[in-house]
Structure 1
Amino acid sequence: MHGYSIYRISTGEIVPGRSGWCSEYRDVVAQPISEDEACFDQFLEGRELYIVGQTATPRPVLHASAEAVELVADGVDSFAIEPVPPGTRVSFRGEWHVIDDGLLIITIAVPGPYDLVLEPPFPFQHQNIRINAHAP
């Protein structure tokens, strides 16, 4: 079996639901593909990868650490991400916002765990960040 993935030539985005396995790679290449799509000769998940110059490449992230962010819940201590691509959707405390000025700053006044959801435009990965706010 041979893995394959269909991706958009203009962006490198791996098309959801268009990756799979076949007995012959030529079977996939022979299938009709749109003008902006091409076939990559590996099975790939598009959540974390995209195609750049015929190479599977990790999609960038806005916040590199997988660790939870620790803040003092004093309304002053802050967590910042910069630059943030315009149009990035952010969910914090159940409310969605759009970042257009390139900067995200979070301050918290009430102790507790918080979840920050980042949905930047492609090619950036969507992320969930845990913020633990501790009493001063």
Structure 2
Amino acid sequence: MKKILLALPFVFAMQQALAINDQDEENYKTNYITQLKPLVVQKLSADRPEMTARAVDAEASAYVTKMAGCQLQGLSQFPETYREKAIKPVAQGADIAQTTHDLNTEMLKDIESGKLSKEQATIMVQNAQETVQICLNS
């Protein structure tokens, strides 16, 4: 019985860690949508001037919402350290483009230092891109 009681804090800590992870993913999606929707609205408006503002907004919302989820699926292909560096900053409100640039810079440094091979990086990025594409097409 004592052993069970001693293990309880670890069970609760694990559940809390998972909840934080879920919250990070939700925050990532929210911030991703907030940052990209204006760009998608602008592009759609320019490419399809016959659409009403309401239709453009609805299509843009649907697209960026799906894209945010697909991005997370793609990032799941990355090792945890890179995944965290791609998700956590955006979840906390950081700029997506800057976060991507920072992640790419770190990966290049890791390649130069030998922590990551070019082949590993290429496979990791290709798998992520394929996952995003499959998700978007489904």
Give the number of the structure whose residues are more often strand, by fraction. Answer: 1
TM-score by length of 1: 0.23
Which protein, 1 or 2, shows the higher relative CO under an 8 Å CA cutoff with sep ≥ 6?
2
Give the number of the structure whose residues are more often helix, by fraction. Answer: 2
